[in-house]
């Protein structure tokens, strides 16, 4: 007889972490739609009724799943920043009795670097689990200790980095709005903007699309056009120049697009992240001026 099935009550080792990890294995193997209480019980080798000793039902299971997903986001650089700044403040207070302000420029740069690592990790995690993005983006974080801990680390780092209290939540939400969309774009079909038979002619958009796709492959074939617009000069400068300008902003572009579903996602992600991070530095500088 199976020893696990022969016991009553809670099966040994059936914890929140174990349940969440098993649920994620199902999602990763077969998609979010395959996650059911019956399927999860089968994977764990228990009766479905045993799961209800640990979770109230499918809704709470989804809380476990979102918490498990975001536990993979790397916040180590942000945590280190908060520790370093706190140590700097204490040290300055011991030296000259002042601990209220430390080198603003260097602090803004340190915050920028830590947020960049967090953002890249966050996008990578979401890109792997993009089917769960609607769930994660709209479900409350109550009952999700890993997510709440992530926000605590991010908030401490932003405060330590010089972001005013009133701006911390808007900054977090702005980053998440961008990163959730970027993760979806990472998994979007490369032909998402291509016209179909009988579509209206959109020469301006076709021209800029050539510039965009030209970063990767020269443009026109990817945007679904065989010929240039009738009057391209009236729309935009030569698309090859525009493409070169965009491509020059992405260091290691070949590596960034290797093996991804949508190779065109790299340029807008880098473009947007750079400007978000620039904005962070400006916020810190403005707060300290």
The fraction of the chain above a pLDDT of 70, given in percent, is: 73
Report, as an integer, the average pLDDT of 232-245. 39
pLDDT at 285 over 90: no
pLDDT at 221 over 80: no
Phi/psi at 140 (5° precision) = -60, 155
Q: Phi-psi region for residue 259, left (φ > 0), alpha (ψ -120 to 50) or beta?
A: left
Tokens of 212: 């965009």
Q: Kindly write down the DSSP assignment for every residue of 113-147, as one continuous string.
A: HHHHHHHHHHHHHHHHTGGGHHHHHHS--TT-HHH
Distances (CA, A) of 210 to 39, 84, 196, 285: 46, 46, 16, 38
Of 211 and 233, which is predicted with more confidence?
211
pLDDT tier at 246, thresholds 50, 70, 90: very low
- In this prediction, residue 111 carries a pLDDT of 93
pLDDT at 163 over 50: yes
Of 86 and 223, which is predicted with more confidence?
86
Of 131 and 96, which is predicted with more confidence?
131
- In this prediction, residue 31 carries a pLDDT of 80
**pTM over cut 0.85:** no
Report, as an integer, the average pLDDT of 244-252. 50
CA 253 vs. chain centroid, Å, equals 19
- In this prediction, residue 120 carries a pLDDT of 95
Radius of gyration of the chain (CA): 24
CA 238 vs. chain centroid, Å, equals 33
CATH topology classification for 16-55: Arc Repressor Mutant, subunit A (1.10.10)
The residue ranges of every structural domain in the chain are 16-55, 76-186+278-288, 189-260
- CATH for 76-186+278-288 is 1.10.357.10
pLDDT at 174 over 60: yes
- In this prediction, residue 247 carries a pLDDT of 47
Report, as an integer, the average pLDDT of 8-27. 76
Identical fold between 16-55 and 76-186+278-288: no
Structure confidence by residue, pLDDT tens digits, 31-62? 888 888 999 999 999 988 888 888 888 888 88
pLDDT at 102 over 90: no
Report, as an integer, the average pLDDT of 253-276. 76
Of 268 and 117, which is predicted with more confidence?
117
Tokens of 186: 């990472």
The fraction of the chain above a pLDDT of 90, given in percent, is: 31
């Amino acid at each position: 007889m199976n020893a696990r099935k022969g016991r009553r009550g809670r099966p040994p080792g059936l914890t929140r972490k174990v349940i969440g990890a098993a649920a994620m294995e199902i999602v990763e193997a077969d998609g979010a739609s395959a996650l059911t209480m019956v399927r999860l019980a089968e994977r764990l080798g228990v009766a479905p009724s045993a799961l209800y000793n640990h979770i109230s039902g499918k809704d709470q299971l989804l809380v476990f799943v979102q918490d498990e997903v975001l536990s993979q986001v790397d916040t180590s650089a942000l945590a280190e920043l908060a520790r370093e700044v706190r140590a700097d403040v204490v040290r300055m207070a011991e030296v000259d009795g002042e601990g209220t302000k430390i080198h603003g420029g260097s602090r803004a740069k340190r915050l920028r670097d830590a947020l960049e690592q967090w953002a890249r990790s966050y996008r990578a995690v979401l890109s792997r689990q993009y089917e769960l993005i609607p769930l994660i983006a709209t479900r409350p974080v109550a009952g999700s200790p890993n997510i709440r801990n992530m926000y605590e680390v991010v908030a401490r780092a932003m405060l330590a980095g010089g972001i005013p209290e009133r701006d911390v939540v808007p900054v977090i939400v702005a980053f998440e709005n961008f990163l959730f969309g970027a993760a979806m774009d990472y998994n979007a079909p490369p032909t998402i903007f291509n016209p179909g038979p009988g579509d209206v002619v959109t020469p301006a958009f076709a021209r800029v699309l050539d510039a965009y796709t030209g970063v990767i492959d020269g443009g026109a074939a990817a945007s679904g056009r065989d010929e240039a617009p009738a009057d391209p000069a009236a729309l935009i400068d030569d698309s090859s120049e525009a493409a070169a300008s965009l491509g020059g902003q992405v260091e290691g572009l070949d590596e960034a697009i290797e093996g991804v579903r949508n190779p065109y996602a790299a340029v807008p992600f880098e473009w947007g992240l750079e400007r978000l991070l620039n904005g962070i530095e400006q916020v810190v500088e403005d707060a300290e001026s």
